[in-house]
Amino acid sequence: MSVLTLREAPPERLDLHALTPLALSGLGQAEAERLPIGTSRRGLVLGDCFSVKLGGADELVIEGGHERLDRVGAALSAGTIRVEGDVGQRLGAGMAGGTLTVTGNAGPFAGAGATGGTITIEGDAGDHAGGALHAAKAGLDGATLVIRGRAGAHLGDSMRRGLIVAGEAGAFAGARMIAGTLAALRVGDHAGYGMRRGTVLVGAHGTLMPTFVETGTHDLVFLRLLARMLRPVSPGHADLLNGTPRRYSGDLATIGKGELWVAA
């Protein structure tokens, strides 16, 4: 196991996308400490901000988080990264596999474009978690994103594949969804705005768009399979499917093949 310990609050935003267990396993101590992580003319390297302890295993622990630690785990394809504290923006953005865990909070665009693996945020997440980065065509694209606390607005914006599970979310959860599954105990106004396909499951919601049409209550095999998939991730979200949830079809302002399920 490799361990990076943050010495003090970073003087600038740091880009940690290249720090993975695989990348560090092939480096010596001096080489690792010279890895560039700065985002300004200071030219900060890893050894300037972290004490470095290298190990040969497929696990990396970052001790002492901070909101200026950006793109943590973005290049992760295998192995495990665990951050003990907070992180900044673009957590796991574009990651292809492995397990990424943050014990604190994360900034905006967590999991953007992630195609594989599992991202778990024990605290809260900023806006556009699992959403599309600026000028990108899709957000989450096959990975699993779990937010134990509250997510900001536009959770899962333009997600294409994968699973998002959140405690609560702000307005426009599931907006412009292309496909995939999003589950939250509570969401704000305008859930599913502009969604084309996909499934949104909620316990409670704010104001719904007038372009969503109620289609009644249903007891489907699909719902039991969805509950079985959700239970290992979050039993509370699986329990939203107890009874007969109510289904809304939309967004009819687009092709209208999405669905919003509301717990009974």
Last residue of a domain, one of 63, 90, 110: 63
Asked if 148 and 20 sit in the same domain, the reply is no
Asked if 41 and 140 sit in the same domain, the reply is no
Full domain range(s) for residue 51 = 1-63
d(CA 155, CA 138): 13
For the record, the structure tokens of 48 come out as 């300037």
- pLDDT of 253 reads 96
For the record, the structure tokens of 135 come out as 């000028």
- pLDDT of 219 reads 86
The residue behind tokens 């630690």 is: 69
Asked if 51 and 88 sit in the same domain, the reply is no
- pLDDT of 30 reads 95
For the record, the structure tokens of 192 come out as 């599913």
Angle at 75 between CA 108 and CA 92, to 5 degrees: 25
d(CA 136, CA 261): 28
The residues near 79 (Cβ < 8 Å, ≥ 6 apart) are 20, 21, 22, 58, 59, 60, 98, 99
Coil, strand or helix: which one is 241? helix
- pLDDT of 89 reads 98
Question: Are 217 and 183 in contact, with CB atoms under 8 Å apart?
Answer: no
Asked if 119 and 40 sit in the same domain, the reply is no
Asked if 114 and 231 sit in the same domain, the reply is yes
Q: Which residues pair with 131 in a beta bridge?
A: none
d(CA 260, CA 1): 43
Asked if 105 and 14 sit in the same domain, the reply is no
Last residue of a domain, one of 12, 46, 63: 63
- pLDDT of 262 reads 97
Last residue of a domain, one of 11, 36, 63: 63
Q: Report the number of distinct structural domains present in the chain.
A: 2
- pLDDT of 57 reads 82
- pLDDT of 101 reads 98
Asked if 116 and 18 sit in the same domain, the reply is no
Asked if 224 and 188 sit in the same domain, the reply is yes
- pLDDT of 105 reads 98
- pLDDT of 92 reads 97
Asked if 133 and 250 sit in the same domain, the reply is yes
d(CA 16, CA 5): 13
* Tens digits of pLDDT across the chain (264 residues): 999 999 999 999 999 999 999 999 889 999 999 999 999 999 999 999 999 999 878 999 999 999 999 999 999 999 999 999 999 999 999 999 999 999 999 999 999 999 999 999 999 999 999 999 988 999 999 999 999 999 999 999 999 999 999 999 999 999 999 999 999 999 999 999 999 999 999 999 999 999 999 999 988 999 999 999 999 999 999 999 998 999 999 999 999 999 999 999
Q: What is the DSSP string of 116-134?
A: SSEEEESS-B-TTTT-PPT
Asked if 210 and 144 sit in the same domain, the reply is yes
Question: Are 71 and 16 in contact, with CB atoms under 8 Å apart?
Answer: yes
The values of phi and psi at residue 14, to 5°, are -110, 140
Beta-strand pair 59-63/80-84: parallel
Q: Which among 195, 204, 134, 142 has a CA at the least distance from the CA of 169? A: 204
Coil, strand or helix: which one is 83? strand
Asked if 96 and 191 sit in the same domain, the reply is yes
Asked if 151 and 187 sit in the same domain, the reply is yes
Would you tell me how many other CB atoms lie within 10 Å of the CB of residue 145?
31
Give the pTM. Answer: 0.94
Would you tell me how many other CB atoms lie within 10 Å of the CB of residue 137?
11
d(CA 118, CA 145): 6
